[in-house]
Amino acid sequence: MKRNEFIKMTGLSAGTILTGSAFTGFLSSLSSCKNPHHMGLMTKPVMVNEGNFSKLLSFPTQAGANHTLTAQVTSATVNGSSIPVLGYQQNNLLGPTFRVNKGEAVNILLQNNLTEHTNVHWHGLKIPALMDGHPDQLANAGGTFRYQFTINQRAGLSWYHPHPHGKTAKQVFQGLAGMFLINDAEEAALNFPSGSYELPLVIQDKRITPGGIPYTPGAEEVMAGFMGETVLVNGIDSPYTEVATRFYRLRILNGSNARVYNLAFSNNTDMVIIGNDGGLLKNPVTVKEILIAPGERLDVLVNFAGISPGTDVYLTSKGFSNGGDAQGKQEFKIMKFKVTVPATDTFTIPATLSSITTLTASSAVKTRTFEISNAMEHHGYPMNDGMKMRHRINGKLYDGGRIDEYVAANTNEVWVFDNSKGDEPHPMHLHGVFFQVLQRSGGRNQLTAAENGWKDTVLVMPGETVRVVVPFENNTGKFVFHCHNLEHEDDGMMLQYQLS
């Protein structure tokens, strides 16, 4: 590369003089970067600092179908000190966990006490476009937004978080998120562990300082996503909980901006996956480890029977390959289960959980392909700041004034996410629908145990092309779809489809 190209692409001004070791260091960082798209931006992992697992796990308060969420600056105790955070309620990092029944009418008022606009996206709820928390539908600073909708879908774990374009990542990272559980009769009939044996767990990594949770991604961190060195579960760093020698049901949400976890237990015990983003699978699937990307959910049964009281078992994230330069490089503990109480348990895992009609590619009336590899200019959409690489879909950055895809209601389509030339993981998420994953080629070359049934977010690792089949029903209107690495999303890796 010639010097002026080099200057142009790295964003150094021509007058910048890098001398001596600074210059050689910069050059060697360039040459050691394999990816031409990054133009010298080196993405690297943010290593997790494990704590000592001495803080008791707790759970966000529970809320029903009628509630007020007050987005505010508040304080929360993290890592032993009280710091300013954003919250939907006082003195908490996370909002309440909603628990509602299928068929219920929901009425939630968002009171925005922030000094900037925000909104709430109900991730995983099939609700009208105007209630979905589209980046156009905002509550101004000091204003309100009333969300009213009916729960018209099966049991499952959804969640909620802000979606104001360009500010989503910061608002989520600083604390705004919560879980949304739906119950129904089909699920109740299966008699899963409930009450204190059902544990909703939000896993998030944060950067914690005495002054709060700073959100200051540099260019490399926009490429990799903003990751933190402290892993929280339900807002608590390195927590523990006491468990009895019996089955537990873990309702797991990866609420991190960018970090992918490869969940496994330290004693290598089985995890029985019974559900994912869209609710129950057809049949349980037993695994030793399972990836969960930002936005994804897992419903997992774990049996602590047979473990002697007094034993500590950790939920960990194991290393993984295929995750690009910044992900999967470290194995770390997330939380501790102290097996304390002997118990007897008559629960047995049902062989059949739910009936799900398998959709085929041949049912689709149309196939749309989305190129998600390339952060550079192409397809005639110029890089609009001239310097930085930007995350794009089909070469385009998000433009709220442009509809990218027009979709006919009541048709099935195949959507293809092509990351075959990419070197970063992209968890791709569609609003307003659930889909079935048909195929993954390249990279891992197969579907995971949690990719049966209904999904709303699918992880597309470097080198992979993933095909999904989407039944678009008659919930007409304008929806977004995007990468759920929130730095990528805010950077522009989001488009709109209009269903009509």
User: Which residues lie near Cu ion (CB under 5 A)?
Assistant: 123, 426, 431, 483, 485, 488
CA atoms of 335 and 313, how far apart (whole Å): 9
For ligand C2O, which is the closer residue by CB, 106 or 483?
483
Q: Which of 440, 430, 427, 441 is nearest to 471 (CA)?
A: 430
Both tokens of residue 348? 């047995």
The minimum distance between CB 60 and ligand C2O, in angstroms, equals 17
> Is the distance from CB of 457 to CB of 428 less than 8 angstroms?
yes
Residue 488 binds which of Cu ion, ligand C2O, none (CB < 5-8 A, kind-dependent): Cu ion
For ligand C2O, which is the closer residue by CB, 38 or 429?
429
Task: Quote the distance between the C-alpha of residue 86 and its chain's center.
Answer: 18
For ligand C2O, which is the closer residue by CB, 246 or 431?
431
* Secondary structure letter of residue 150 according to DSSP: E
The minimum distance between CB 346 and Cu ion, in angstroms, equals 38
Q: Residue-wise over 262-273: b if at least 16 C-beta within 10 A, else e?
A: bbbbeeebebbb
The minimum distance between CB 89 and ligand C2O, in angstroms, equals 20
For ligand C2O, which is the closer residue by CB, 43 or 168?
168
The minimum distance between CB 228 and Cu ion, in angstroms, equals 18
Residue 483 binds which of Cu ion, ligand C2O, none (CB < 5-8 A, kind-dependent): Cu ion
Interface residues with ligand C2O (CB under 6 A)?
121, 123, 161, 163, 295, 429, 431, 480, 482, 484
The minimum distance between CB 133 and ligand C2O, in angstroms, equals 8
CA atoms of 266 and 398, how far apart (whole Å): 42
CA atoms of 154 and 159, how far apart (whole Å): 15
Residue 249 binds which of ligand C2O, Cu ion, none (CB < 5-8 A, kind-dependent): none
State the residue for tokens 């609009």: 384
State the residue number with the nearest CB to ligand C2O: 123
> Is the distance from CB of 406 to CB of 500 less than 8 angstroms?
yes
The minimum distance between CB 129 and ligand C2O, in angstroms, equals 13
The minimum distance between CB 369 and ligand C2O, in angstroms, equals 21
Please name the helix (run of DSSP H) or strand (run of DSSP E) that holds residue 81, with its range, or none. Answer: strand 81-87
In one letter, which amino acid is 93? L
Task: Quote the distance between the C-alpha of residue 178 and its chain's center.
Answer: 12
Residue 478 binds which of Cu ion, ligand C2O, none (CB < 5-8 A, kind-dependent): none
For Cu ion, which is the closer residue by CB, 123 or 467?
123
* Secondary structure letter of residue 381 according to DSSP: B
Task: Quote the distance between the C-alpha of residue 193 and its chain's center.
Answer: 25
For ligand C2O, which is the closer residue by CB, 110 or 339?
110
CA atoms of 112 and 141, how far apart (whole Å): 6
The minimum distance between CB 202 and ligand C2O, in angstroms, equals 13
For ligand C2O, which is the closer residue by CB, 246 or 482?
482
For ligand C2O, which is the closer residue by CB, 281 or 428?
428
Residue 426 binds which of Cu ion, ligand C2O, none (CB < 5-8 A, kind-dependent): Cu ion
Residue 295 binds which of Cu ion, ligand C2O, none (CB < 5-8 A, kind-dependent): ligand C2O
Both tokens of residue 278? 């869209």
92: Cβ contacts below 8 Å, ≥ 6 apart: 60, 61, 74, 76, 175, 235
